[in-house]
Amino acid sequence: MAMTITEKILAAHAGKTSAQPGDNIWVDVDVLMTHDVCGPGAIAIFKKHFGQNAKVWDPEKLVIIPDHYIFTEDPHALRNVDILRDFVKEQNLPYYYDPGTDDYKGVCHVALAQEGHNRPGEVLFGTDSHTCTSGAFGMFSTGIGNTDAAFIMGTGKLWVKVPETMRFEFHGTFPPYIMAKDILLQVIGDIGCDGATYRTMEWAGDAVMQFSMEERMTLCNMAIEAGGKNSVIEADSVTEKYVRERSDKSYSIEHSDADAKYIFRKSYDAAAMEPVVAKPHSPDNKALARECSDVKLDRSYIGSCTGGKLTDFLAAAEILNGQKVKIETYIVPATREVEHGIRETKIDGKTLQTIFEEAGCHIGEPSCAACLGGPKDTFGRTHGTEVVVSTTNRNFPGRMGSKQSAVYLASPYTAAASALTGHITDPREVMPAKV
Amino acid sequence: MKEKFEGRAYVLGNNVDTDQIIPAAHLVYSLSDPEERKKYGEYALSGVPAEGAGLPKGNTPFIEEGKWQSEYSVIIGGKNFGCGSSREHAPACMEIAGVQAVIAESYARIFYRNSVDGGFFIPFESEKLLTEEINTGDELAIDLKANTLTNRTQNKTYSLKPLGDVKDIIEAGNIFEYAKKTGLIPA
Ligand code: SF4
């Protein structure tokens, strides 16, 4: 029977030869990821149901990445990290990235990839809705709550309803000012923020396959903003190269059959794409960047699992190089590895770090930071009526801290271009050499 | 599982996301500590913008100042209820505040799943959008056998969609009880 990548992966993990949309099946879990916000709750539920002395099903398969509330003085937030530490010790878990030590990484979805926990064909659950990011590796990955995570800790299994798949194809070549973020905001705007509810978003086409792993991760990251269960891109040589540099475990690459059934299919001309923003207060409130030039800004924020990878900062630096920002501009690398990249990577002989410092940006420590507001002392958090252009993924009311602030989601190019002018700016206006 | 229950309505709009249900700044408290849990009740639905809080009038707090439980136990939502993050603190804070059921036109997937697997309350789907028919404060009664919602204040009855696949988990209480019943984990 013809199947999509997602159907094949789920079938294989349920010990079946086929899986059809709507089937409720129990799957074996390859990796469970949790972090400081949800880990303590999941651990408490695990102990409640499996006993105070219970052991997790497989310590090699549980990955704990504190990232949300790290650089804060909030005593409750710090206590949550202590709970994770105690659990890691008690369970003897090999994959824990402890804040305040050399092991600390940063934002979980980027760290999962960088530390080699993503492999094609695998099933990964995480207590974070953006776990769909890992689908960039040709695997099934999705977000779950504390109860489901506790259930996996005890059993290594979880029930899944096999999703229908929507396929988005991009053909041709993207113009140089277009990033994965633009494509995503375009598609979410087209289908609406519940347009993919319970479904898989499969990305394909020669234009998509030209993307680096980081850009593919951005593309998969925001499936949840369309309500999607997971996102997936078939693994190819780009994926294999990235994975082989970081993991020596075996994996299997699944392909969608040519006659697989899709609930929806849409094909886009890559060359026709334009820089897009999502206006407040919903990720599907789409507009072209050039149509929003009357929007005056107080702040530009470049960071998060969506827009805080090295590719994102390279794009921002290209625009900020030799210029001064007009508004407060925050740079938050997703992980230590990205931070290292900012310090080492050069444009015109200058490191990105120097470019950002000379432009007048504030550079923060790797973590989720103001992407989700967080404790009052969080770097870059809004406290009043700020109007922000941001490379993050959500602009719901209050998401970056203050209920009165307004957030425009955009690509790193657009966020950097807007930082230079103080209003929403199509990057083509400040990067004429690229048009 | 109870067959019938009653409560007063608290009406919200479309796309109520998890940051509105429980703003991220409050996610630091322990859900297992009996005293600290109350904080979640106190802040339940505190991120909803004032004009959308308790429709149609708005400006009606779900939780009164200084309290952690609500006088409203049935939430009426529109489309895509609970979109956003996977935080289980969202359904949990609603249960702590006293919510017994949510009736929405549609749900975001993770929120729906969390409500069922954690056994916090029953997420019903309405046959049609009810946010403009029901007023905050209306007296409601839900009949699980008949799959109906009756608005006693307005004397109207609506049908609810059958619970479908997840009914077995809801009946068992949560995913753990369900797994015990089906022999997946030892009872
Ligand atoms: S960076 Fe933002 S979206 Fe990504 S995991 Fe952190 S809080 Fe969530």
Model confidence pLDDT, tens digit, residues B62-84: 999 999 999 999 999 999 999 99
Task: Tell whether A361 is covered by a domain.
Answer: yes
Beta-bridge partners for A165: A200
Ligand 1, atom 2, lies closest to the CA of A371
Q: Which residues in chain B are closer than 8 Å to A200, comparing Cβ atoms?
A: none
Task: Tell whether A404 is covered by a domain.
Answer: yes
Q: Which residues in chain B are closer than 8 Å to A222, comparing Cβ atoms?
A: none
Same structural domain, A302 and A264 = no
Residue bearing tokens 């079946």? A16
- Torsion angle, alpha carbons of A325, A330, A336, A342, to 10: -10
Quote the pLDDT of residue A435: 44
Same structural domain, A183 and A307 = no
Task: Tell whether A25 is covered by a domain.
Answer: yes
Same structural domain, A183 and A305 = no
CATH of the domain at A195: 3.30.499.10
Length, in residues, of chain B: 187
Task: Tell whether B184 is covered by a domain.
Answer: no
Ligand 1 atom closest to Cα of residue A371: 2
Could you say which DSSP state residue B54 is in? S
- Sign of the CA dihedral B121, B123, B126, B127? negative
Residue A53 CB coordination number (10 Å): 7
Task: Tell whether B173 is covered by a domain.
Answer: no
CA B67 to chain centre: 18
Task: Tell whether B117 is covered by a domain.
Answer: yes
Find out whether B160 and B154 touch, Cβ atoms under 8 Å.
no
Find out whether A369 and A339 touch, Cβ atoms under 8 Å.
no
Contact B15 A26 (CB under 8 A): no
Q: What is the 3-state secondary structure (H, E, C) of A111-156?
A: HHHHCCCCCCCCEEEECCHHHHHHHHHCCEEEECCHHHHHHHHHHC
Same structural domain, A319 and A390 = yes
Task: Tell whether A253 is covered by a domain.
Answer: no
Find out whether B140 and B156 touch, Cβ atoms under 8 Å.
no
A76, A151, A396 member nearest B20 (Cβ): A396
Q: Which residues in chain B are closer than 8 Å to A372, comparing Cβ atoms?
A: 19, 24, 85
Quote the pLDDT of residue B142: 97
* pLDDT tops 80 at residue B45: yes
Contact A373 B28 (CB under 8 A): no
CA-based nearest residue to B70, from B40, B108, B115 = B40
Same structural domain, A115 and A150 = yes
Task: Tell whether A433 is covered by a domain.
Answer: no
Least CA distance to A374: which residue of chain B?
Answer: B25
Contact B25 A148 (CB under 8 A): no
Segment B133-160, tens digit of pLDDT: 999 999 999 999 999 999 999 999 999 9
At residue A250, what are phi and psi to the nearest 5 degrees?
-80, 160
* Cβ neighbours of residue A12 closer than 8 Å, sequence gap 6 or more: A121, A252, A254
Task: Tell whether B76 is covered by a domain.
Answer: yes
Contact B85 A74 (CB under 8 A): no
Quote the pLDDT of residue A431: 86
Task: Tell whether A434 is covered by a domain.
Answer: no
Question: Rounded to whole angstroms, how far apart are CA atoms A145 and A122?
Answer: 20
Contact B110 A143 (CB under 8 A): yes
Same structural domain, A145 and A14 = yes
Beta-bridge partners for A300: A329, A389
The residue from A203, A236, A268 where one domain ends is: A268
Quote the pLDDT of residue A16: 97
CATH of the domain at B36: 3.20.19.10
Which structural domain, as residue segments, surrounds residue A23? 5-247+260-268
The residue from A234, A268, A302 where one domain ends is: A268
Instruction: Flag whether the ipTM exceeds 0.90.
Output: yes
Ligand 1 pocket mutation pick from A217, A221, A371 by most atoms within 8 angstroms of CB = A371
Task: Tell whether B167 is covered by a domain.
Answer: no
Same structural domain, A264 and A288 = no
The residue from A217, A239, A268 where one domain ends is: A268
Residues near ligand 1 (Cβ within 6 A): A 68, 107-109, 128, 130, 304-305, 368, 371-372, 392-393
Ligand 1 atom closest to Cα of residue A129: 8
Task: Tell whether B122 is covered by a domain.
Answer: yes
Ligand 1 atom closest to Cα of residue B85: 8
Ligand 1, atom 4, lies closest to the CA of A305
Q: ∠ at Cα A102 (A33, A338), nearest 5°?
A: 70
Task: Tell whether B172 is covered by a domain.
Answer: no
Which structural domain, as residue segments, surrounds residue B153? 4-161
Task: Tell whether A146 is covered by a domain.
Answer: yes
Question: Which tokens sit at B73?
Answer: 């136990």
Same structural domain, A357 and A384 = yes
A24, A145, A282 member nearest B117 (Cβ): A145
Query: Kind of pairing, strands A157-161 and B148-151?
Result: unpaired
Interface test with A, best of B37, B83, B174 (most A CBs within 10 A): B83
- Sign of the CA dihedral A217, A222, A224, A226? negative
- Specify the number of domains making up chain A: 2
Contact A193 B84 (CB under 8 A): no
- Specify the number of domains making up chain B: 1
Quote the pLDDT of residue A433: 64
The series of mean pLDDT values per 10 residues for chain A, 435 residues long, is: 97 98 96 98 97 98 97 94 98 98 98 98 98 98 98 97 98 97 98 96 98 98 97 98 98 98 98 98 97 98 98 98 98 98 97 98 97 92 97 95 96 98 97 60
Contact B108 A154 (CB under 8 A): no
Q: How far is B152 from chain A (nearest CA, A)?
A: 32
Binding-site residues on chain B for chain A (CB distance < 8 A): 15, 17, 19-20, 23-25, 27-32, 47, 49, 79-80, 83-89, 91, 106-110, 113-114, 117-118, 165, 174-176, 179, 184-185
Task: Tell whether B128 is covered by a domain.
Answer: yes
Least CA distance to A159: which residue of chain B?
Answer: B175
Task: Tell whether A350 is covered by a domain.
Answer: yes
Least CA distance to B166: which residue of chain A?
Answer: A24
